[in-house]
């Protein structure tokens, strides 16, 4: 190996480290660290022109208690990368990587040393850039080798660009820097996305919050950011990174792969003609379906499907909400409500009623292949199932405020016996509750619906800084009888210490039969805004916590959006 070289000076913003080794030469070929320039903790050990097959990689733990990262590499990946892909390097460390492979019928093994640089993050608002600290509290043996991708947003001081949307609304200026990294269960960073290569607040195609990360069936990562959406592999190789179709704008929150190989994206529109003749940019109220080439196959306009003037929950979200003027009664007809609006009420990314304001705030989409429908979580309204014909199948939300044309689609809470539950001032027997300003509403492989109930505005109450709770909740929905039964919840008993007023996720993981839950914005409403998220996995149908990781942010406004499990068996 070549002798390390001293570094006397580094460019502004670079990460200091004592010594940085020169590129390595090994038996196979050159080691290329960060081969695609966006994933610094990855590498490729080039095959040196050899026809190797059936490779296996082990990134050895750097200390006692560390977690080994190991995976088998498909031959197609060896051909794609021209060598062995290496994932999971520790930052600012000379990693010991064992590779095994077959060459000309012989089984060979090499131990390769690969140095990966320290984590480099953008410095914003005079704050030292640092990823949140991840501390394990409990890790069951069966989950020890889990890898978790954390998607955080830096909300403080991020809007430093000069790009401005026009005065007719839109969410383009909702711009936050995404901190996206993968941690092992020991809390060590094993991957991160160099967001400075992808984010630029001064450009239309560079601004926006990187959100909605999912691992696809082929092991790649998908996400969206402002006016673009993307698919990359874990080594940072771009599959596609494209702008939104011209009719639509302002991606955030959710992109989902369907079983049909298409993608559902939550967007707004770039030019929406209201019945009152106004042209506006709408806010988080459209879902589009695109194919692998980016063609729009279908779209759902929630302004036409739901009621953009239902304001019952918006009343609880603060005085900034733009509602119908005092003394004006809402009508059942959208066009009539538009006539009642104050003509001076601003459009834009602000909670309010009517197309051109943030009346829906869709934050999650699910696809149900059983009947070719989508399930939509709209933070300001509830959870809905909508068919390909754009007709509502059911509404999972408190019954207050719905116009006559929607009431017959409201789900009725029932107990295990199927009988309706009694209710008193919004409080139901058997501890049933709706989800309030929820995030995520995804199907489980058991046919149930798992929802993260944030609890902000619970039972239409005002925002509380203390005495509230969030929970993960599971519902059984009978689509024929239009009933809903609550069969499980977790988090209520943890109270303020687990309360996330925004963001967060719950997802059933069939490979371990656990409920994966990330309460992602704990302490976000405090003055310091130093969030303390908690990630757990709970044995299905129980209160037994099998894994718990606690995070501590080091920058005010660094709030978790979501997290997800990463499966290396699909990736390479």
Name the residues annotated as catalytic: 439
What is the 3-class SS of 232-243, one letter each residue? ECCCCCEEEEEE
What is the 3-class SS of 247-259, one letter each residue? CEECECCCEEECC
**Contact indicator for 534, 150 with CB cutoff of 8 Å:** no
For residue 565, what are the β-bridge partners? 148
The contacts of residue 327 (CB under 8 Å, 6+ apart) are none
**Contact indicator for 504, 518 with CB cutoff of 8 Å:** yes
CA 204 to each of CA 177, 239, 290: distance values in angstroms, whole numbers, following the listed order = 14, 21, 21
CA 101 to each of CA 53, 74, 174, 568: distance values in angstroms, whole numbers, following the listed order = 6, 11, 48, 18
Note the residue count of the chain. Answer: 572
Torsion of CA 4, 5, 10, 16, to 10 degrees: 30
For residue 312, the Cα-to-chain-centroid distance in whole angstroms is: 27
**Contact indicator for 301, 285 with CB cutoff of 8 Å:** yes
Kindly state the greatest CA–CA separation across the chain.
Answer: 83
**Contact indicator for 21, 115 with CB cutoff of 8 Å:** yes
CA distance 493 to 39: 39
CA distance 256 to 365: 7
For residue 377, what are the β-bridge partners? 364, 383
3-state secondary structure of 458: helix
* Angle at alpha carbon of residue 341, lines to 340 and 342, rounded to 5°: 120
For residue 156, the Cα-to-chain-centroid distance in whole angstroms is: 19
CA distance 451 to 233: 28
Q: Which two tokens stand for residue 150?
A: 């954390």
């Amino acid at each position: 190996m070549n002798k390390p070289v001293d570094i006397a000076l580094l460019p502004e913003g670079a990460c200091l480290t004592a010594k940085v080794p020169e590129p390595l030469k090994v038996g196979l070929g050159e080691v290329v660290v960060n081969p695609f320039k966006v994933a610094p903790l990855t590498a490729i050990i080039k095959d040196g022109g050899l026809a190797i097959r059936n490779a296996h990689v082990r990134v050895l733990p750097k200390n006692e208690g560390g977690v080994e990262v190991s995976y088998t590499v498909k031959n197609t990946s060896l051909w794609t990368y021209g060598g062995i892909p290496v994932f999971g390097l520790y930052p600012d460390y000379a990693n010991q990587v064992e590779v095994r492979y077959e060459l000309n019928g012989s089984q060979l093994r090499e131990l390769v040393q690969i140095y990966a640089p320290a984590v480099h993050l953008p410095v914003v608002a005079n704050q030292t850039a640092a990823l949140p600290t991840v501390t394990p509290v409990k890790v069951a043996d069966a989950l020890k080798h889990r890898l978790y991708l954390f998607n955080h947003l830096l909300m403080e001081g991020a809007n430093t660009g000069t790009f401005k949307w026009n005065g007719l609304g839109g969410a383009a200026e909702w711009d936050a820097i995404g901190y996206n990294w993968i941690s092992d269960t020991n809390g060590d960073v094993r991957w991160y996305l160099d967001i400075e290569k992808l984010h630029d607040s001064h450009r239309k195609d560079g601004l926006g919050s990187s959100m909605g990360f999912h691992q696809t069936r082929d092991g790649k990562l998908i996400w969206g950011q402002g006016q673009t959406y993307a698919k990359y592999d874990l080594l940072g190789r771009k599959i596609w990174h494209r702008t939104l179709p011209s009719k639509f704008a302002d991606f955030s929150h959710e992109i989902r792969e369907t079983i049909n190989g298409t993608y559902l994206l939550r967007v707004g529109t770039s030019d929406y003609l209201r019945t009152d003749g106004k042209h506006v940019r709408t806010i988080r109220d459209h879902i589009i379906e695109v194919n692998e080439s980016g063609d729009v196959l279908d779209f759902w306009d929630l302004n036409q499907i739901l009621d953009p003037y239902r304001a019952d929950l918006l009343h609880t979200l603060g005085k900034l909400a733009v509602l119908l003027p005092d003394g004006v009664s809402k009508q059942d007809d959208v066009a009539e409500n538009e006539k009642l609006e104050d003509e001076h009420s601003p459009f834009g990314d602000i909670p309010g009623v009517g197309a051109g304001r943030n009346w829906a705030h869709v934050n999650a989409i699910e696809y149900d292949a059983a009947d070719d429908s989508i399930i939509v979580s709209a933070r300001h309204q509830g959870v809905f199932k909508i068919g390909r014909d754009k007709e509502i199948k059911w509404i999972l939300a408190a019954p207050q405020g719905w116009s006559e044309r929607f009431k017959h689609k409201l789900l009725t809470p029932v107990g295990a016996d199927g009988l309706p539950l009694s209710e008193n001032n919004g409080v139901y027997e058997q501890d049933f509750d709706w989800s309030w300003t929820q995030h995520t509403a995804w199907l489980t492989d058991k046919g149930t619906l798992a929802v993260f109930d944030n609890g902000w505005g619970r039972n239409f109450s005002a925002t509380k800084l203390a005495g509230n709770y969030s929970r993960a909740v599971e519902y059984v929905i009978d689509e024929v009888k239009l009933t809903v039964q609550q069969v499980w919840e977790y988090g209520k008993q943890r109270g303020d210490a687990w309360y996330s007023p925004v963001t967060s996720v719950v997802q059933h993981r069939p490979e371990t039969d656990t409920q994966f839950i990330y309460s992602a914005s704990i302490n976000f409403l405090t003055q310091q805004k130093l969030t303390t998220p908690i990630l757990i996995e709970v044995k299905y149908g129980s209160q037994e916590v099998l894994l718990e990781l606690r995070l501590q942010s080091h920058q005010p406004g660094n709030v978790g959006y979501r997290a997800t499990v990463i499966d290396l068996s699909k990736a390479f």
